[in-house]
Structure 1
Amino acid sequence: MAWLARQVSRKQAQEVWICMPFSDSAVIAPIMHALRHSTVQIRLIPEFAPLRLINFQVNRVSGLHAFDLSVTSMTGWASFSKRLEDIVISALILALISPVMIGLAIGVKLTSPGPIFYRQERVGWNGRPFNMLKFRSMPVDAEKAGVQWGNAKGKTTTRFGAFIRRTSLDELPQFINVFLGDMSIVGPRPERTVFVEQFKEEVPNYMKKHMVKAGITGWAQVNGWRGDTRLDKRIECDLWYIENWSLVLDVRIILATAFKVFTDKTAY
């Protein structure tokens, strides 16, 4: 340690970086002691590999220094502005598309017996289940044999249902979910409970996507990872969104979705 102090003095170093795994943390105190007579700035660069950090930063909690390894930035003012964005946009869109939704509701009712809406349990913010709304595109007993994943081949739809699924019009009732606070306009797409239980064991960091509200569209979808695409790629996009969220990013995603939603052949 005396050698380190001499090198700092001789080379007039401005900073000393301590790079080591936490298992070697006992070395930090002797280094700090050796440099106690120096004005050099000392930085700790801990080794976190192979951890997937989300919004890493150092905070003070009850007088203690704490490493935030996996946190959401959507708290306080950010959370308020995000919710305000959702209320304003969903209310405006619902007002504009209400004639379309009435027409679609009539189409569903006239072409297939059963309810207009399909309420499907999905997993949302903090892992809490909620009922996601869709216009019903399948016969009432379509999933009698069991839950089907995404756009599984052979998945039964009505003739009108095939049209609204192909054009993503069956997703429009989710703006009601947004207005009610179950979902957000932009966020990771929610999945069904049975698949969440499966994927959280198979895909690293899968549950981290639930640190924010589920969305109608998201960063993964506008980058081509929608429908039956690689799950690990979608999760990486979801985590990137959580790390880099801003209102400007939401606007970018909304505008990109407006151009893609009616031309992309894969459904959400």
Structure 2
Amino acid sequence: MGPPLSIVHEPSLAPVASAAAPRRSLPSGRIDLLFILCDLAIVVGAGLVGSIAFAMLAHGEAGDVASQAGLGLIAGVAYALAAHHFGLYRLESLLRHQPDDTPVSASWAFAVLMVAITLFLLKMGPEVSRGSTLALGLVGWIALVGWRRLAKRRLRSALADGTISGRRAVLIGTADELAQFGWRDLLVRYGIAEVDRITLPPDDGTVHVSRAQRAAVERAVARIRTSFDETVDSIVVALPWTSTAQLEVVMEELRSVPLAVWLLPDRAVSTVLQRQAGPCRHAYLVETQRAPLTALEQTVKRVVDVGIAATALLVLSPLMLATAVAIKLESPGPVLFRQRRHGFNGRPFLIYKFRTMTVMEDGATVVQAQVADPRVTRLGAVLRRTSIDELPQLFNVLRGEMSIVGPRPHAIAHDEYYGKMIANYAFRHHMKPGITGWAQVHGFRGGTPRLELMQQRVALDLWYVANWSVWIDLQVMVRTVVEVLRQRNAF
């Protein structure tokens, strides 16, 4: 029986844990692009300065500045390609204390050679003097070597004071595997800014995972879902790759978390990777689960949701008011039906619907509506066929609990049941639930009395989560109108 779940806080994690504190930070994933753009600007600028200075000394005039700028751009692109080949833009290389004069010089020699070949192929010899080309080569080389030394020194200072930020991640794994990764290694080699690490019991070497180990994994996942929901954008797993049973349990539990999941190389694999030969050594990180939507995609979807929900409420408010009055007059009870459902990341919320039944079920047992269900009122039958009963969920959309389009939320009792019966069911919670969905416009509106029907509905929901686009959402909205008019499976 393994040790209980524990949270390990390393004193050396301070620069990383406070990565959100600086007002201005430099994302580790953008550093290579920043250096490429700076190198291009330096080469073009140095080429212009050198060529113009030579032309002024030799001829008393600046010469053809446009041609010099074009040659500088060619040299800059060629240098960037060669530098990328030598791994000069990798963060690990940029943070090394050793100077990179040799690979920089080799890359620049390649760039100057490309300029010479260009001049020969385009027959530009008479327009561009050899002295200007030599000036480009000399000034460019001095500028690149000096700039890289200065930039590397400043980059190391930025790493020390926490200015460089990476993907904010929670590490989860065994103590032995986590011990090989310090905060600097994670940031430099993988672009990961560690927020916290959760230690799991080690694998006991058996084929099956013990109950204590599974419980520890469940507690770890619960902690991630509740404590780091707003600050973490990925989860990083550090487990022995030979512990297949433990890996499967961890990955299975993490399916319910709508975050990217990455697998670090274990000690054995890391040993092999450290022996890589050649100028460009790679650090490997395996993505086992991608995040459902990027920050930009989430923003676009939210803007569309708010715009449509607000407009619909404004236009449909007379109909909703008349419906509320009719419900109150027909039968005793509240106008709105409220029920707890699971939303994004499995968080529970109260869904709103116009009451269509004489009961208000919300507990361990919730019976789905049947054809000619005696619990459905006469007005309720009309509301359900026309989907008018769903209109109060527009308020759920404005509150941010639901989306216009998404997997339809099920009662919590049904989630618990089907979660055990259908593989990957938890992936439905990687997106906000919707008023309508991809499954509904494909005929799966209403109840699902048989397990195979629910399996087909879930398969359609998972396809939507994996293939979301604004176009698909618009398509679903239009097709929903058709489905409502057809009144298929509406009871």
1:147, distance to aligned residue in structure 2 (A): 2.0
Q: Secondary structure at the match of 2:351?
A: strand
Assess if the C-alpha contact under 8 Å between 1:94 and 1:175 holds in 2: yes
Aligned mates of 1:215, 1:101 — CA distance in 2 = 19
Tell me the percent identity: 41
Identify the match of residue 292 of structure 2 among 53, 57, 73. Answer: 73
Return closer, same or farther for 1:127/1:60 CA change in 2, 3 Å cut-off.
closer
Aligned partner (choices 386, 392, 400) of residue 167 of structure 1: 386
1:233 aligns with 2:456: yes
Task: Name the counterpart of 1:245.
Answer: 468
Q: Shift in Å at residue 59 of structure 1?
A: 8.0
Shift of 1:109: 0.6
- 1:209 equivalenced with 2:424 (yes/no): no
Q: Which moved further from structure 2: 229-238 or 99-108? A: 229-238
Q: 1:127: Cα distance to partner?
A: 0.7
CA distance in 2, matches of 1:158, 1:98: 23
Structure with bigger RCO (C-alpha 8 Å, 6+ apart): 1
**Structure 1: which 5+ residue stretches go unaligned?**
1-50
8 Å CA contact 1:186–1:216 kept in 2: the answer is yes
> 1:147 corresponds to which residue?
366
The one-letter code sitting in structure 2 at the alignment partner of 1:233 is Q
C-alpha contact 2:339 2:362 (8 A) present in aligned 1: no
The answer to whether residue 407 in structure 2 is matched with residue 184 in structure 1 is no
- Aligned CA-pair RMSD: 3.0
Contact 1:174 1:216 in 2 (8 A): yes
Matches within 5 A, 1:79-228: 79-140=298-359, 146-151=365-370, 154-228=373-447
In the aligned structure 2, how far is the partner of 1:60 from the partner of 1:133? 40
How far off is 1:89 after superposition? 0.5
Structure 2 CA distance, aligned partners of 1:196 and 1:60? Answer: 28
SS of the residue 1:132 aligns to: strand
Q: Deviations over 1:29-51 (max 9, x none)?
A: xxxxxxxxxxxxxxxxxxxxxx9
Q: Which moved more, 1:143-152 or 1:156-165?
A: 143-152
Matching residue's letter, 2:356: S
Provide, for residues 87-118 of structure 1, a one-character-per-residue CA deviation record: whole Å limited to 9, x for no partner: 00100111110000001001101101111100
Matches within 5 A, 1:19-58: none
Give the superposition deviation at 1:239.
1.0
- Secondary structure at 2:337's aligned position in 1? strand
Structure 2: 5+ residue runs without aligned partners?
1-250, 265-281
Amino acid at match of 1:177: N
Contact 1:117–1:134 (CA under 8 A) maintained in structure 2: yes
TM-fit CA distance, 1:267: 3.3
C-alpha distance in structure 1 between counterparts of 2:290 and 2:490, whole Å? 30
- Kindly indicate whether the alpha-carbon contact (under 8 Å) linking 1:114 and 1:140 is maintained by their aligned counterparts in 2: no
Structure 1 CA distance for aligned equivalents of residues 433 and 360 of structure 2: 27
The letter for the 2-side match of 1:259 is V
Return structure 1 stretches of 4+ with deviation > 3 angstroms.
Answer: 57-61, 140-146, 150-155
Report the alpha carbon displacement of residue 157 of structure 1 after superposing the two structures with TM. Answer: 1.4
Q: Which has the higher helix share?
A: 2
Structure (1 or 2) with the larger CA radius of gyration: 2
Matches of 1:263 and 1:66 in 2, distance apart? 49
Q: Which amino acid aligns with 1:217?
A: T
Distance in 2 between the 1:106 and 1:216 partners? 23
SS at match of 1:233: helix
For the residue of structure 1 that corresponds to 2:293, the secondary structure is coil
> Aligned partner of 2:330: which letter?
T
| Cα distance in 1 between the residues matched to 2:420 and 2:317 | 41
Q: Is the 8 A contact 2:443 2:488 kept in 1?
A: no
Q: Please give the per-residue CA displacement for 1:68-87, whole angstroms capped at 9, x wherever unaligned.
A: 33333312100111111110
**Among residues 463, 484, 487, which one is paired with 1:261 in the alignment?**
484
What TM-score results when the alignment is normalised by the length of structure 2?
A: 0.41
| Cα gap change, 1:150 to 1:75, in 2 (>3 Å) | farther
State the one-letter code of the partner of 1:198: Y
- The 3-state SS of whatever aligns with 1:191 is coil
Q: 1:143 to 1:246 in 2, by over 3 A?
A: closer
CA contact (8 A) 1:72 1:243 kept: no
Q: Which amino acid aligns with 2:443?
A: G
